[in-house]
Structure 1
Amino acid sequence: MKAIVVGAGIGGLTATLSLRRAGCDVTLVEQLPRFTEIGAGIQLAPNATRVLRRLDLLDMVAAQSTRPSHLSFRTWSDGAEIVRYTLGREAEDGFGAPYLQVHRADLQQVLAAAVLPHSVHLNTAVVGIDQDDECAYVTTASGERLGADLVVAADGVRSAARQWLFGADEAVFSHTAAYRALLPADEVTDLDLSDYALWLGPDRHFVHYWVRRGELLNVVAVVRAEAAQESWTAQAEPGEQLREFDGWDSRVLSVLDRAGQVFRYGIHTRSPLARWNIGRITLLGDSAHAMVPFQAQGAAQAIVDAAVLGDALAGTKPAEVPAALDRYALRRISAATSVQASSARAGHDYHLPDGPEAQARNARLVAYAAENRFGPHSASWAVDAGL
């Protein structure tokens, strides 16, 4: 069985490894000339780390990660703790895999190192995908035409493959923008910051957690916005993030003030699809279900997609590929769409104005802790259909 994966992000790399585990000969095509260190922190809940264990990569990723002991929800103005949810060893025991926080580049490096070098085609832009009854094809910018039994399009939130398959369909601006930064641990030791905290305020929220074995503090500060560029490399204006969070707890302002390089990007999503695949071609990851990051499940959902895809293709003959891709999509569409919706609801709840609505939200968060000590995010961590 031969497969082509388009896009070497987290989803594409994991798909390459999962398909190889299923017995496929995989070619990975990426338009960038090299694997680059972009982005910052990624949270890997047990649904994702369970897949990394199957790929024999969990120990290597964990060695570069941080394991938070808990998640603390806090009030924007004074940092008062609203509720605390359990992570750490208890989450690992409860869900069969750890909760990790890792720098995106560290995760990408582990995944890329596991991909066979000869199977990677870097600096190769894809300009077309098509198929016939027996084969799927990728056409590159250089005019090369690659054929395989299936093509997996993991080409991100701005997926061209999605439009080739299903017609014009643009990414949707979520009306939120995020400031992100990384701070060395020794620059914030005086601030008494918890492992992992989420501060809630009117039209804004602020998240911090540790990555790279606790050496770096990852910061994400989200605001309502009328417009924002969708770019991992666009820098904020000097002091812009401080003005956006004026009046917040002094620890939040200190972190934002001490951040050296601050990036600002618009958060975009994709509308849910009724199907992800046609014939021998399928979508995976953000190309299928890009979501707001407010339940920290974007990368995890792509990783689970990859595992389910590998399971669906294992033992499959070339003639059976369309049916196998149907099985993959059937197992994943409902779950991913549900996480998309719950992430959007979480963003709404995080940004409620002070007053009765925020008080009711806080009461719900506290009540949930009495029912489930792992918090509302954990609804998506359960084992997916035998993974």
Structure 2
Amino acid sequence: MSESKLRVAICGGGIGGLALAVPLSKHKNIQVDVYEAAGRFAEIGAGVMIWARTWRIFELLGLAEDFAKVADSEPDPAVGFNYRRSDVGANGFHWNFVSMPYGCIRFHRAHFLDVFVEHLPPDVAHFGKRLVSYERREDGDISLNFADGTSAECNVLVGCDGIKSVVRGQLLRDKAEAEGRPDLLALIEPRWSGTVAYRGLIPATELPKHETLASPMMYCGQDKHIVAYSISRGHICNVVAFATEPKNEDAEFPGKDQWVTPCTKEEVSKCFAGWESDVGEMLERIDNPTKWAIHRLHRLPFYVANRVALMGDAAHGMCPHLGAGAGQAIEDAFILATVLGVATRSTLDAALEAYEQTRLPVANHVLKSSDESGKMYEFNSSFGEQYETLGPAIKHQWDFLTSSTPEGEAEKVLSIFEGLK
């Protein structure tokens, strides 16, 4: 190990962790180590959506060509979400369409992760390494302690370990003790949104000429909504059906840590009984559905402390109602890689602070907007069922996609860094 290299430890090998590891590994002055608790890289879930903003990051990183090979759709300005009112009997009705800037690009989640894996150099990944704790040494470096009894050292630790992040837990506990801020302890654990999601996959052959195969659909009703779109190049329909009990927002989930459980198709169909016929037809064809308790974080006041940084779901785990979780993690990675790429050990603190100043306000805004959007789809927002104002308000929720550019954000983080170092 060269002492001149900046040693970056990434805890977690999901989309965010690998999106950071790949660009960092291109810098000769940085040693990257990815510590993954599982025995291999793997993603839970079927579909993932990204928007043109994230695609631009892939172009800037030289990854777009490889992602294009596994994409299930082409960017298309005519593509967006069709919204229907579907809980009003056999015949629902269309009430809104939101077109996305250059459309949304859909992937199978495993194929999406594979592209990052293929660009990862050998000897970067370390499997079976579940982080238990870390310690800040007197020289400012960090010691990592793993469940298998091994340890490692780094100059900076990046927590990419998901919504149940061990890194976030220790960071907030240490900060609460050091600064006498017990309020931070309430931010450690994810909170149940009051929503469960039924997920399932349907072969396209079982849904001939169904509207979900032509365009992403949003079927809306009181306290419930369904997102459905095609993946695997149109051969599979990915269905996510949400059911909310508003009174349970921020309550403790009855299943405690059992956030994902199997369920029956009869449970799913019963939950959406009385909805329009296209919905009933679709739900009846889901085999082996799963039931997910949707959790999210409260907005954190900081992402960085003592050369430990949070990103992705560890920093801003959010509801999926804007399809923004993966994109926000990738943008975290892009900005953090940009500033770490020009940092040294002596300027590391300035680099991490610049990352936080750039990403925290944006990601926290998207987290809040994701909550609000779910309420809009289920007619529980301040707009109620006023379609003429609700429709434009929903479209406004995606303004973060075009309010700036990835290049502009990269310039911003570097400018802040120059002012701090």
Q: Settle same-fold status: TM greater than 0.5.
A: yes
The residue correspondences of 1:101-140 to structure 2 (distance < 5 A) are 101-132=106-137, 133-140=139-146
The residue correspondences of 1:352-363 to structure 2 (distance < 5 A) are 352=379, 358-360=384-386, 362-363=387-388
The answer (yes or no) to whether the contact 2:11–2:158 under 8 Å persists in 1 is: yes
Unaligned regions of 5+ residues in structure 2, if any?
A: 1-5, 174-184, 411-421
Matches of 1:380 and 1:253 in 2, distance apart?
A: 34
Q: Would you say 1:364 and 2:370 are equivalent positions?
A: no
In structure 2, the partner of 1:73 is 83
In structure 2, the partner of 1:201 is 221
Residue 365 of structure 1 deviates from its aligned partner by: 4.2
Matches of 1:73 and 1:188 in 2, distance apart?
A: 19
In structure 1, the partner of 2:232 is 212
State which of 343, 348, 358 in structure 2 corresponds to 1:321: 348
User: Could you report, residue by residue, the CA deviation over 1:184-239 in whole angstroms, capped at 9, with x for unpaired residues?
Assistant: 11111143334111111100001111112112111110001454656675211341
Residue 240 of structure 1 deviates from its aligned partner by: 0.6
The residue correspondences of 1:279-290 to structure 2 (distance < 5 A) are 279-290=306-317
Matches of 1:62 and 1:351 in 2, distance apart?
A: 34
Residue 130 of structure 1 deviates from its aligned partner by: 2.0
Alignment RMSD (CA, Å): 2.1
In structure 1, the partner of 2:398 is 378
State which of 41, 52, 55 in structure 2 corresponds to 1:35: 41
**Which region of structure 1 is more displaced relative to structure 2, 187-196 or 275-284?**
187-196
Residue 335 of structure 1 deviates from its aligned partner by: 0.3
In structure 2, the partner of 1:49 is 55
User: Could you report, residue by residue, the CA deviation over 1:313-369 in whole angstroms, capped at 9, with x for unpaired residues?
Assistant: 122111211111110011000001111111111111111279x95431x21244469
**Which region of structure 1 is more displaced relative to structure 2, 52-61 or 327-336?**
52-61
Corresponding pairs, count: 372
The residue correspondences of 1:218-229 to structure 2 (distance < 5 A) are 218-225=238-245, 226=248, 227=253, 229=255
Q: Structure 2 counterpart of 1:114, which letter?
A: H
**Which region of structure 1 is more displaced relative to structure 2, 206-215 or 78-87?**
78-87
The answer (yes or no) to whether the contact 1:7–1:29 under 8 Å persists in 2 is: yes
Residue 18 of structure 1 deviates from its aligned partner by: 2.8
In structure 2, the partner of 1:95 is none
Matches of 2:151 and 2:385 in 1, distance apart?
A: 59
The answer (yes or no) to whether the contact 1:39–1:232 under 8 Å persists in 2 is: no
User: Could you report, residue by residue, the CA deviation over 1:126-159 in whole angstroms, capped at 9, with x for unpaired residues?
Assistant: 1112223431221112222211221101010001
**Which region of structure 1 is more displaced relative to structure 2, 273-282 or 47-56?**
47-56
The answer (yes or no) to whether the contact 1:62–1:100 under 8 Å persists in 2 is: no
User: Could you report, residue by residue, the CA deviation over 1:86-135 in whole angstroms, capped at 9, with x for unpaired residues?
Assistant: 24xxx23xxxxx63111111111111121113110011111112223431
Q: Structure 1 counterpart of 2:216, which letter?
A: Y
Matches of 2:380 and 2:319 in 1, distance apart?
A: 20
Matches of 1:326 and 1:49 in 2, distance apart?
A: 26
State which of 150, 154, 162 in structure 2 corresponds to 1:156: 162
Identity of aligned residues (%): 27
**Which region of structure 1 is more displaced relative to structure 2, 271-280 or 298-307?**
271-280
Cα–Cα, structure 1 residues 205 and 163, in superposed 2: closer, same or farther, change >3 Å? Answer: same
Q: Would you say 1:256 and 2:283 are equivalent positions?
A: yes
Q: Indicate the structure whose relative CO is greater, using CA pairs within 8 Å and at least 6 residues apart.
A: 1
User: Could you report, residue by residue, the CA deviation over 1:45-65 in whole angstroms, capped at 9, with x for unpaired residues?
Assistant: 122222222222222222222
In structure 2, the partner of 1:181 is 200
Residue 386 of structure 1 deviates from its aligned partner by: 3.6
Q: Structure 1 counterpart of 2:241, which letter?
A: A
Residue 139 of structure 1 aligns to a residue in which SS? strand
Cα–Cα, structure 1 residues 12 and 37, in superposed 2: closer, same or farther, change >3 Å? Answer: closer
The answer (yes or no) to whether the contact 1:31–1:123 under 8 Å persists in 2 is: yes
Matches of 1:118 and 1:206 in 2, distance apart?
A: 42
In structure 1, the partner of 2:417 is none
Matches of 2:344 and 2:383 in 1, distance apart?
A: 55
Unaligned regions of 5+ residues in structure 1, if any?
A: 93-97, 370-374
**Which region of structure 1 is more displaced relative to structure 2, 56-65 or 339-348?**
56-65
Matches of 2:164 and 2:303 in 1, distance apart?
A: 15
In structure 1, the partner of 2:11 is 6
Residue 98 of structure 2 aligns to a residue in which SS? strand
Residue 294 of structure 2 aligns to a residue in which SS? strand
Q: Structure 1 counterpart of 2:389, which letter?
A: R
Matches of 1:353 and 1:254 in 2, distance apart?
A: 26
Matches of 1:357 and 1:61 in 2, distance apart?
A: 38
